[in-house]
Structure 1
Amino acid sequence: MGAAISPEPPASVADAPPKNWVDRWAPESWRPFLRLGRFDRPIGMWLLLFPCLWSQALAQVNSGDHYPDLTYVLLFAIGALAMRASGCAYNDYVDRDIDARVQRTASRPLASGQIAPAAALAFIIISALVGLAVLVQFNSFTIWLAIASLLIVAVYPFAKRVTSYPQIVLGLAFNWGALVGWAAIKGSIGLPALALYAGCVFWTVGYDTIYAHQDKEDDALLGLGSTALKFGEDTVSFVGGMYALAGVMWLVAGALAGAHLVYFLAVVLVFLQMSWQVSTLDIDDPANCLRRFKSNRDVGLALLAGLVADMALSWFAGLS
């Protein structure tokens, strides 16, 4: 793959965090591929991983378990890392000509010519094979359920060319783990998992609308669709509605799974965090949008903490 890299690649990708570990520590010949897989921007990996972990934990709460199965946690973490890398590389492969015309994405490895398309395809396949190696550790129902998501993943990069709602397609694809985590524990799909998945889709539509405001001028010039362009000045109300629906569905998921008070308190904290995002959002300030988008990692951590606490407290209650 090294032969496909330009001799003087840019020092970093424009939308990557400054002084990220890839730019500082990775061997120079690896950097374009690590950037292609978004290893310099870990927020997307967290947002992909959390629905898996939430779903696993919710299933274990429902089963009366007292702590998360750490083997599954590790498998989901490796799988999220690999599949996010493969999915992002695939997205960049499809969008390489568009990305070259957008200021924020023009420095990405494919758009800037640091990596040849054939090398990117090889990276996509290798990353996907790592994900497959993880996937086959689960039960057969979970394997086929996860494979079914590939159709939505394949369609997603083309959605913004034909609809103003590509964020919905992203939400459907990006949160499939909310079904997979439950299936890994239970061997089937239950109503709590479906409610959790619906909430996660609403959540993603909300936070990705915020994210899309960074590119709205370029997207408008290129004739691409997004909910940021669709709702414009009404974005705050739209995102607020999406976040409210997410919170309601997460409450429903917990009730259906038999969760306890600590989980519902965590959902309340999550809703307060999302309310902060909405109330302080400035859609005309890209830095403001990016910060609020990235703060969704706090949403993920809070909800996961609530589920883990639910299991732990039920264990303590059993001892008394």
Structure 2
Amino acid sequence: MNQIKLFIDLVRLKKPIGFMLLFWPCAWGLTLAYDFSSNLNNYFFYLILFFLGAVLMRSAGCIVNDILDKEFDKKVFRTKNRPIASDQISIKLAILYVLILCFFALLILLNFNNFTIILALGSMPLAFTYPLMKRFTYWPQLFLGITFNYGLILGWTAIQNQIDLLPILFYLGAIFWTLGYDTIYGFQDIKDDEIIGLKSASIKFKDNAKSFIFLCYLILCISLFIIGYLINSNLYFYIFMVLPISHLFLYQINKFNSKNPDKCLEIFKSNNFLGLLVFINIFVGKII
């Protein structure tokens, strides 16, 4: 039972925000591409597959992150008790877990078309090298955005079996969404990161963080308006845009306080709700 508890802690199953932030872009891309005048069985089937894939790959990513960051995690108050950092789980066992999780993720991936399978396999280097970026650049959040929102492209290709301008524009906007929310998240560890020599957008923009995050979220919103225009969305799409815009700027930006780690975590977690709002927005634009 103790090993099960350690495994749950290792893959952050008690913290679903990680895999939900991986899942929402998949759902956005899928919904954007799907023809809702046809049978909905495939839509819900793919939605379930993307959710399971997000859980599995996020879990594997957490383990790889903890393996690579073991020595750094020991020096950070928030992460020092993680199973690998505290030597409760060995590196060998952790690698075995990664292989098992990736195997089940592959079984899920094989349900998609060949083009989507190839694209997904091509993203693996991104997924497993992201944790190294904070050693070399102040932009690890940008690499996370490229990785975490890749599912938006896959959601599109799962239906269309090709890449178009539409999902690429949306993907770029979503990258800036992640750049914004993960910069907020990074303020929890900024003091420890500066001491041990790690880099982040939180450190780079610590003196004007709110302006930087505002710009990131603005780019996401602009991309949503462009997408709405390109798919000839109805008026309801633009009316419903009030909801994600209000959440981003009236709640997240307005409440952001870089000196308050608890508030930063709360705002970061609220992006799960933002993901749902954008999902509803796309849905409304497609079917009403």
Do both proteins adopt the same fold according to a TM-score greater than 0.5, normalized to the shorter chain? yes
Q: For the structure 1 residues 147 and 286, does the alpha-carbon distance in structure 2 shift closer, same or farther, using more than 3 Å as the test?
A: same
CA deviation vs aligned residue, 1:240-285 (integer Å, no higher than 9, x gap): 0000001111221232233333333333311110102011111000
> Is 1:197 aligned to residue 171 of structure 2?
yes
> Is 1:220 aligned to residue 200 of structure 2?
no
In structure 2, how many angstroms separate the alpha carbons of the residues matched to 1:307 and 1:96?
40
Selected match of 2:103 from 122, 129, 138: 129
In structure 2, how many angstroms separate the alpha carbons of the residues matched to 1:107 and 1:310?
45
Equivalent residue of 1:279, what SS?
A: helix
In structure 2, how many angstroms separate the alpha carbons of the residues matched to 1:83 and 1:198?
21
In structure 2, the partner of 1:176 is 150
Which sits farther off after the overlay, 250-259 or 96-105? 250-259
Structure 2 letter corresponding to 1:139: N
Identity of aligned residues (%): 36
In structure 2, how many angstroms separate the alpha carbons of the residues matched to 1:192 and 1:266?
20
Report the Cα offset of residue 137 of structure 1: 0.3
Structure 2 counterparts to residues 141-290 of structure 1, below 5 A: 141-275=115-249, 276-290=251-265
In structure 1, the partner of 2:92 is 118
In structure 1, the partner of 2:73 is 99
Report the Cα offset of residue 38 of structure 1: 1.2
In structure 2, how many angstroms separate the alpha carbons of the residues matched to 1:139 and 1:113?
41
In structure 2, how many angstroms separate the alpha carbons of the residues matched to 1:210 and 1:184?
32
Structure 2 letter corresponding to 1:151: P
* Preserved CA contact (<8 Å) 1:44 1:84: yes
Equivalent residue of 2:145, what SS?
A: helix
* Preserved CA contact (<8 Å) 2:32 2:286: no
Structure 1 letter corresponding to 2:284: A
Q: For the structure 1 residues 65 and 287, does the alpha-carbon distance in structure 2 shift closer, same or farther, using more than 3 Å as the test?
A: farther
Structure 2 letter corresponding to 1:292: I
> Is 1:35 aligned to residue 9 of structure 2?
yes
* Preserved CA contact (<8 Å) 1:179 1:194: yes
In structure 2, the partner of 1:58 is 32
Equivalent residue of 2:132, what SS?
A: helix
Which sits farther off after the overlay, 154-163 or 212-221? 154-163
Identify unmatched segments of 5+ residues in structure 1.
1-26, 314-320
Report the Cα offset of residue 81 of structure 1: 0.6
In structure 2, how many angstroms separate the alpha carbons of the residues matched to 1:257 and 1:35?
42
In structure 2, how many angstroms separate the alpha carbons of the residues matched to 1:287 and 1:255?
38
In structure 1, how many angstroms separate the alpha carbons of the residues matched to 2:239 and 2:113?
33
* Preserved CA contact (<8 Å) 1:199 1:245: yes
Report the Cα offset of residue 153 of structure 1: 1.6
In structure 2, how many angstroms separate the alpha carbons of the residues matched to 1:268 and 1:191?
25
* Preserved CA contact (<8 Å) 1:266 1:303: no
TM superposition score normalised by structure 1: 0.86
In structure 2, the partner of 1:21 is none
TM superposition score normalised by structure 2: 0.95
> Is 1:46 aligned to residue 12 of structure 2?
no
* Preserved CA contact (<8 Å) 1:176 1:197: yes
In structure 2, the partner of 1:17 is none
Q: For the structure 1 residues 268 and 126, does the alpha-carbon distance in structure 2 shift closer, same or farther, using more than 3 Å as the test?
A: same
Report the Cα offset of residue 191 of structure 1: 1.1
> Is 1:298 aligned to residue 269 of structure 2?
no
Identify unmatched segments of 5+ residues in structure 2.
none
